[in-house]
Chains A and B, each alone.
Chain A
């Protein structure tokens, strides 16, 4: 079965600094990959997804992620952090039948 690993349960960056959140998946067959964001006491919102085609995927709020098959990775980046980016971020892989397998999540803190 697929598993998703997010390195770092907490990441802290200064406002304006690069954001890098790491995600690795386990399958030898590249799955569909997603990043979701969860603001406090809210549901999950899709940031971006990789299905097929271009390996650099752009999402909402200036985030992007690069699918690297050789590294089984799908890291999320943003060039310049904003205070409003503080939230919990989840990487997920989609198995057959639209079932999502989530990583444990990374809480992003942005310091002023």
Chain B
């Protein structure tokens, strides 16, 4: 199993550009989520999904969209990038949302918005 994969590893955007961060998992996990990591703030939940076709907002959803058309994929879209979205983005997945199953994290995408 590849686990949780994320592409790209690095990305530089100009203010106002849009892009999609890709996340995929091959463990048939029901639950997937996106976090952003900023220095001194830990990780904060952006959006999450409890299954294909079902998504919901986390703590910091503004400026981001998600969809979940398949169990495997959970892309994160930045609609109009802003410098405040410069961060490291992590995708995570777990077996289910109904119990405290371990969340498996991808390697991250480092995004810089100029």
Contacts and interface: CB of A to CB of B under 8 A. Distances in A.
B100 A104 contact: no
A1 B45 CA distance: 13
Contacts, number: 65
Contact of B94 (A6, A9, A98): A98
A74 interface: no
B40 A97 contact: no
Interface string A49-61: 1010000000000
A44 B42 contact: no
Interface in B67-114: 90, 92, 94, 96-103, 105-108
Interface residues of B, number: 28
Given A103-B42, A104-B40, A43 B107 contact: yes
A7 interface: no
Contacts of B92: 44, 100
Contacts of B105: 36, 43-45
Interface of B: 4, 31, 33, 35, 40-45, 48, 50, 58, 90, 92, 94, 96-103, 105-108
